[in-house]
Amino acid sequence: MFNHAQFIWNAADILRSTYKQHQYGDVILPFTVLARLDAVLAPTKEAVVRELAGFDRDRMPPAAMLRKKAGHDYSFFNASRHDLKSLQGDPDNLEENLRDYVGAFSENVRDIFEKYKFEDAIIDLARNDLLLQVLQHFAKVDLHPDAVSNEQMGHIFEELIRKFAEVSNETAGEHFTPREVIELMVTILLDGDPDLGKDHVVRSVYDPTAGTGGMLSVADDRIRSFNRTAQVSLLGQEINPASYAICKADMVVKGQPIDNIALGNTLTQPAFRGQSFHYGLSNPPFGVDWKQFKKTVEDEHTVRGFAGRFGPGLPRVSDGSLLFLMHLISTLRDPKPEQANHTAGRGAIVLNGSPLFTGGAGSGESNIRRWVLENDYLEAIIGLPTDMFYNTGIATYVWILSKDKAPERRGKVQLIDATGMFEKMRKSVGSKRRYLSEENIKEITRLYHSFVESKHSKIFAAEDFFYRTITVERPLRLNYALTPERIERAMAARQIAKLKDADRDALRRALDAAADETGGVISACREAFAKDVKAALDSHSVKLTPAVLKVVIAELSEHDDDGELVTGKGGKPEADASLRDTENVPWGEDVEEYLQREVIRFVPDAWIDHAKTKEGAEIPFTRHFYEYVPPRPLEEIDRDLDEVLGRIRVRLAEVKG
């Protein structure tokens, strides 16, 4: 089978002596797009040229007429008489003719080449006498859809990007998701749509981190293969200009409206604000910070609140994964029970393990999880095998989202452990060493669809992931003494450091003298100790405000289990911050009962400070699938050690000869 990606990549041999490795993509990717578009329009080229006969560039026929001649399925055309093959016939004017050819594309396609700065690449290739060689190379490959399907074209682009990333030490995985992972996500989304089989059903698919368009392409192919009459709209936004250009070219070839693919930052400049979609798919970058656009995100959170995308909370600035989760949920169609044929939105997003548990009760991450669970948006989480992605071997999870769950799923969340469902690749690609086979995808989909408890499927009520973090206090008990260590601590206190030098020196002399008199005897009575200290200060004419004196007494004290109980107003015991602890209490359990059972029997004087209680949510995925493996018997371990030691002794004897 002809390897198109390898053939195209071989163009690097032409560039090698003139261009640096990280520059190959600036030439090869736009030429690949050009070859694809040229092949797509080839069958209708003569009809368009005939339509243009007698017209000049200043007086063109209507664009709609040219699009019609180019083919009803396409939203673009090329008004030039040239194509890749004919351009080779005039090598003396190649640069001018090629620039004219690219400029003759309809405006929606010219934008693609502008993002690549393709005109600069043409000029540079011509200057180095490489333009004809590169053009001849790409003219040899047939990229017409009859020879290379849209799905195969996506694979070609992704393989090229991976190769460019390898030679330039960039991150290929930021641009695309393994196709089998996309297949799994799309399969499960479609599986949960009972209306998809209706004649002429309308479905919209949105990807806020579109990359090269792999998720949109797979979704389109699967929907149409399931229902040939379906009308599918594909929309996406991508921040990387090169990936955006590839995605846009792919969508244009599919006949999608050109405005359906946007360039820009989804979190700060969402291109489809106010629109909602039947399906949402996303693989946002893992663990990428959002510091550079922190103000914009925080403004939307504080000013718009729940009317915006980030009302539930904000994650730590070092990881923006949950921002993409909230954005995706905001773009899914809300249910409208009053409309009989209205279908609510469903989504699937790939995240690493951090969004499951990072952040304690009351944190932004915990509040976001609570919001997702309280609104019943989360259907399932699928744990994928490690070593599945090209740029990372970490654990990843697919979150399945729904704005209107099936009745049997309402109020419940399914966890599916697919970490052991994979096939090993014969040859690893970057960090990717494993893949999901068709059978793996079928098994995972079966587990999702059956929605029953099993070894690899656990079903929980949403509340099972909620908890309360209580603050357990213990009383403050202290003793008091004038010792050199405590005096040094008192003199280092911030309030003492602010005193005038003379006052500070007098204070030290008074404390040192008192220490000599008492010999560092420990006192268990604060009142008596404070009276002695005050007398020592008076004898050295040291005047301290009540607040500063309180600091001195505090610094001269230390914790003592048998010391005096410190009380505040109303005789209520003061809490010892050094003994303060927190406990996570399951949501359905009474906190006072928990305290009696888990704490009081060990520390009878403890109590809960209810003012500090916080509510949280986490999803401890791994814990629910943990299987205890008992250690091997000691006799067995000893036997193995004896065998190893025996072999070592034999080898040492052989060495000694």
Report yes or no on 161 lying in a domain. Answer: no
At residue 25, the pLDDT reads 85
- Please give the residue range of the domain that contains residue 491: 477-571
**Based on the structure, what is the number of domains in the chain?**
3
CB 535 within 8 A of CB 520: no
CB 436 within 8 A of CB 180: yes
Domain boundary among 437, 468, 499: 468
- Residue 6, number of CB atoms within 10 A of its CB: 12
Mean pLDDT by 10 residues, the chain (657 residues): 82 90 88 91 80 60 57 71 89 92 86 88 94 93 87 81 67 65 95 87 96 90 91 94 86 83 94 95 90 95 95 95 97 88 92 94 96 98 93 91 95 97 88 93 96 96 96 94 92 92 91 87 89 91 92 92 86 90 94 94 93 96 89 89 90 81
**β pairing state of 346-352 and 279-282:** parallel
CB 110 within 8 A of CB 102: yes
Shared-domain flag, residues 57 and 125: yes
At residue 257, the pLDDT reads 83
Q: What secondary structure letter does DSSP report for 456?
A: T
At residue 391, the pLDDT reads 74
At residue 286, the pLDDT reads 85
Residue 307 neighbours by CB under 8 Å, 6+ apart: none
The 477-480 sheet, strands edge to edge: 557-559, 477-480, 564-565
Strand partners, 478: 559, 564
Closest by Cα among 125, 133, 104 to 37: 104
Report yes or no on 654 lying in a domain. Answer: no
Shared-domain flag, residues 437 and 418: yes
Report yes or no on 580 lying in a domain. Answer: no
Shared-domain flag, residues 313 and 401: yes
At residue 301, the pLDDT reads 97
SS3 603: coil
Report yes or no on 633 lying in a domain. Answer: no
Residue 618 neighbours by CB under 8 Å, 6+ apart: 356, 357, 366, 369, 465, 467
Domain boundary among 410, 440, 468: 468
Q: Where are the beta strands (DSSP E) in 528-636?
A: 557-559, 564-565, 581-586, 607-608, 614-617
Report yes or no on 613 lying in a domain. Answer: no
Shared-domain flag, residues 144 and 233: no
Residue 591 neighbours by CB under 8 Å, 6+ apart: 468, 470, 585, 608, 610, 613
Residue 357 in tokens: 């548990």
Report yes or no on 502 lying in a domain. Answer: yes
Q: Where are the beta strands (DSSP E) in 106-213?
A: 202-207
Shared-domain flag, residues 22 and 118: yes
Domain boundary among 538, 571, 604: 571
Report yes or no on 644 lying in a domain. Answer: no
Shared-domain flag, residues 450 and 543: no
Report yes or no on 506 lying in a domain. Answer: yes
At residue 172, the pLDDT reads 41
**β pairing state of 202-207 and 231-238:** parallel
In our burial notation (b when 16+ CB lie closer than 10 A, e otherwise), range 329-358 reads: bbbbbeeeeeeeeebbbbbbbbbbbbbbbb
